[in-house]
Structure 1
Amino acid sequence: MYKIVSRLLIYGDMPKDTILMELADIVRKMDDKSQTKEELSTRVFTQMKHLLQVATDYGFDRNLWHNYLTFLLITNENPFSITCEKVGANEGSVNYFAKGDFRAFLDLFHYDFSALEEYLGIDCFSRISNYQAIGKKELMYNKNVSQKVQALSRRLEEAQDENEFFDCVTGFYKDYGVGMFGLNKAFRIQSRNDGRVDFVAINNMDAVMLDDLIGYELQKKKLVENTLAFVQGKKANNVLLFGDSGTGKSTSIKAIVNEFYDQGLRMIEIYKHQFKDLSSVIAQIKNRNYRFIIYMDDLSFEEFEVEYKFLKAVIEGGVETRPDNILIYATSNRRHLIKENWNDRSDMEHENGMHRSDTMEEKLSLVNRFGVTICYSKPSQKEYFHIVEGLARRAGITMPEEMLRAEANKWELSHGGISGRTAQQFINYLLGAMEG
């Protein structure tokens, strides 16, 4: 195996602690007898544990070795794979080297572990060639990633040569992209010491669609129109969704991502304390073949907070204009994003030579940088009942309408007042009572 891995050029720069590199080293140590059988067995079992962990995380079954190699291929971001993501596999000298790598991967797909198993007296590799996951339906894993990996894995198993292998892999890059952005819908960020950020996939994002949000048709229409223009490469605006709590602002944005994911839309959720990393986030995604919504939930600023300056600089562009593949979508319970009091309106108060109202005006001007502002107001009693009735029908609840309204009215009086969130909580309560 180590001889095969040594042939990798484009895909060869893998960390030494990856499963593939560790197994290649184990086979090398077996051949040169530089480690005892007990030491090698321990190392094999450690890598087998890691392989089973990957399978559990992503819901893989059947041939876990093939699934793992496929996962490596579609998550390896290198100049070749990223170019294929953007423009497909064009003619070029790099294809010669890529096909050399794919010939090696084809050999790895069909690698015979029997010599290693016989030497160590184990059979674990034979066991994972037709693996059956236990309790797969109950596991929490990213089904979107699982399905894509396993579908491509089956195609690569059937590839007759490196040319077919090449077509399968590069076709996947073009259709879905490469790395975590190609496989996942939404991400959070983690700051690094070198000034860059790591993107962490959100695997358990709500699968809500816009039709699941009852009411607010005009608001949804404006959001869809702006987002559709964005994914189609047309001019689009940053969006601020403001209004009462529990009215569906955050749900609408999650639904938008689900609706347009297959058209290349991705979401990066960022918190206020991370605004200093906005420039780094943009630098790392501006050249990717996706459309990114940078999502800021419950956005607001207190008098003493200065994070708004980072946001304002990004929205206004500064020296470097904001890339066309990035928009900012934010939600807020405050129309002007900031807490305003009468002191802020007085030019008579000074601090370090600056009028307080000047500072307030600078903060208030931030909201004007959002080209689209959409108001989600608290529903009326009639609209609240309409939401409850729609959610009840969808959930299969057959309670008479008058009784449903009466119980919904009791619920909202003791659970935070009228809102879409209260309506959903009421329906959840009814479903729980029915199951009990």
Structure 2
Amino acid sequence: MLKPHLQELCVCRSILDDALIRDFLRFLENPEATSHTYRFIAGLIEKSEELGLAGNVLRAYFLHVLAQRENTFSRTLEQSDGNIGKSLYNAFVRDMEILSDIFQELPSTMLPTDLLDNYTPTKKRTTEMLAFLHEQMKDAASAQDTANAFLTFYQRYGCGEISSCKAFSWNEKTHALQGIRHFEAPPLTDIIGYERQKKQLTDNTEAFLKDRPANNVLLIGARGTGKSSAVKALVHEYHRQGLRLVQLTKAQLGELPRILAALRKFPSKHFILFLDDLSFEEFETDYKFLKSAIEGGVEARPKNVLIYATSNRRHLIKESWRDREQAADELYRQDSMNETISLSDRFGLIITFLSPDQEQYLAIISHYLKKENIRLTPEDLRILAHRWELEHSGRSGRTAQQFVVHYLGQMRK
């Protein structure tokens, strides 16, 4: 019976902290103990069903853990922007040699069952990331080939949540990024119309991804016109090129220094800090954190970070006529006005989304109905959509989608 010497791992030693791999170690240390053996087998079957792992599931699980759990090699590769020292590379190759039995042999050569040699889970689920890793590993015939497969994988995707998640939130308790597992990022083709606005947004984002000069972006306009969807769609389009989204709330602006410090540790990735539906009342002062992060702070914003925000207001800080009347008594009234508009002026690119006209509104509805294989006659579409528009809050992409949801729900009774 094969017995991999996992305790000799150095660079990838963090995988030994995984609970299921610890059970595997207990089995290796005492293979005669039936309880250790079958607890591990049961745990691996459970993980196979949970993660959708198929085939040689011992190998598949070890690949999953190596992809998800940060190690010295992956962390150094990330922080050195894709480069690695010769000594660390050689140490990593040594670890791959230790793991070679796991990668090349069937589980039945180590375990008293062939259940895990070619397992078929109830629902097979392979993420793009793991599919890429399996493809890289397909022709690996040596420890060096395996090391090079992981090198290519880590350079492209990174490690841990930064590799598997497209979007993140900020956990204020742990002061760390937290992956959003069920993030819906629509394709840009689902945003009908606004071709000029989409091109402005994609041109700026592509320049950012190529490390060329790019602007922070403010998307303004009527509610429901697709501003937020357009920003989220960027991650759908450019995730493979290393783009990630970090969604922040207005209340988290005071955390910006910590957030920027955290993102600086991932120089091979590009991050959009996304502030949705942003606006400030005149008594709120958190906007000063945002001003400082965009431009003017003592510590420079990392080159791999841009700020994209959406708002229904052109000027993000609310100003009333009463404010102007009170400002008239000020000696330096112009200074007060400059402070009010200074935040939106910090965004180098301002993109305006206007409410759709009737033709565009009908095109949006038609597009989403066609995705469901439904085609209405132009006259029926016009009558039903116009009635919905009158009964709701006017024409917008949002009301168009709400009409489609309503129509599908009624049709499928």
TM-score interval for Structure 1 and Structure 2 normalised by the shorter chain:
0.7 to 0.9
Alignment of structure 1 residues 126-275 onto 2, 5 Å: 126-136=114-124, 146-153=127-134, 156=137, 159-193=140-174, 196-197=175-176, 199-275=177-253
Aligned to 1:277: 255
Q: In terms of mean alpha carbon deviation, does 55-64 or 309-318 score higher?
A: 55-64
Is the contact made by 1:88 and 1:171 (CA closer than 8 Å) also made in structure 2? no
Is it true that 1:426 corresponds to 2:403 in the alignment? yes
Q: Secondary structure at the match of 2:24?
A: helix
In 2, distance between residues paired with 1:25 and 1:287? Answer: 35
Tell me the CA shift for residue 247 of structure 1: 0.4
In 2 relative to 1, CA 17–391 (structure 1 residues): closer, same or farther, beyond 3 Å?
A: closer
Structure 2 gap ranges (5+):
none
Assess if the C-alpha contact under 8 Å between 1:301 and 1:338 holds in 2: yes
Deviations 1:165-195 (A, max 9, x none): 11211121223333322232211121235xx
Name the TM-score, length of structure 1 as normaliser.
0.83
User: Structure 1 residues 17, 133: closer, same or farther in 2, change over 3 A?
Assistant: closer
SS of the aligned residue for 1:93 comes to helix
In the alignment, the residues of structure 2 paired with residue 37 and residue 63 of structure 1 have an alpha-carbon distance, to the nearest angstrom, of 22
Structure 2 counterpart of 1:188, which letter? S
TM-superposed CA distance for 1:307, in Å, is 2.1
Counterpart-to-counterpart distance in 1, 2:255 and 2:48: 33
Question: Are 2:75 and 1:75 equivalent residues in the alignment?
Answer: no
Equivalent residues of 1:231, 1:263 under 8 A apart: yes
Bigger mean CA offset, 391-400 vs 371-380? 391-400
The superposition leaves residues 300-344 of structure 1 with CA deviations (integer Å, 9 ceiling, x where unpaired) of: 122333321221221124111111111001111122123322332
Conservation of the 8 A alpha-carbon contact between 1:344 and 1:360: no
- Equivalent position of 1:105 in the other structure: 99
Number of the residue aligned with 1:11:
12
* Equivalent-residue separation in structure 1 for 2:186 and 2:247 (angstroms): 17
CA shift, 1:231, in A, is 0.9
Identity %: 37
Paired letter, 2:352: C
Q: Which moved more, 1:164-173 or 1:244-253?
A: 164-173
> Structure 1's 257 and 23: CA in aligned 2 closer, same or farther, altered over 3 A?
same
Q: 1:411 to 1:333 in 2, by over 3 A?
A: same
Q: Which residue of 1 aligns with 2:364?
A: 387
Is 1:406 aligned to residue 399 of structure 2?
Answer: no
Gaps of 5+ in 1: none
Q: 1:304 aligns with which of 255, 270, 283?
A: 283
CA contact (8 A) 1:269 1:294 kept: yes
Distance 1:276 1:255, change over 3 A: same
Where does residue 273 of structure 2 map in the other structure? 294
The alignment partner of 1:312 has SS state of helix
- Tell me: CA distance 1:94–1:62, structure 2 relative to 1, closer, same or farther (3 Å): same
| 1:347–1:357 CA contact under 8 A, matched in 2 | no
CA contact (8 A) 1:242 1:373 kept: yes
Q: Does structure 1 conserve the Cα–Cα contact (< 8 Å) formed by 2:198 and 2:230? A: yes
Q: Deviation of residue 87 (structure 1)?
A: 5.2
Task: Give the match for residue 320 of structure 1.
Answer: 299
> Counterpart of 2:273 in 1: which secondary structure?
strand
Change (3 A) 1:402 1:358: same
The one-letter amino acid paired with 1:19 is L
Compute the displacement of 1:295 (Å). Answer: 0.8
Cα distance in 2 between the residues matched to 1:242 and 1:340: 17
Q: In structure 1, what is the equivalent of residue 56 of structure 2?
A: 63
Distance of aligned partners of 1:41 and 1:55 in 2 relative to their CA distance in 1, 3 Å threshold: closer
Number of residue pairs the alignment of both structures matches:
410
Compared CA separation, residues 432 and 20, structure 1 to 2 (3 A): same
**Counterpart residue number, 1:44:** 40
Q: Deviations over 1:358-381 (max 9, x none)?
A: 667434311111111111121223
Q: Are the structure 2 counterparts of residues 225 and 410 from structure 1 closer, same or farther at C-alpha, using a change threshold of 3 Å?
A: same
Contact in 2 for aligned 1:102/1:162 (Cα 8 Å): yes
Greater CA drift, 214-223 or 16-25: 16-25
Paired amino acid for 2:87: S
Normalising to structure 2: TM-score of the pair?
0.88
Q: CA RMSD in A?
A: 3.1
Determine which of 323, 343, 348 is the counterpart of 1:371: 348
Change (3 A) 1:56 1:342: farther
In 1, Cα distance between equivalents of 2:181 and 2:68: 16
The equivalent residue for 1:335 is 314
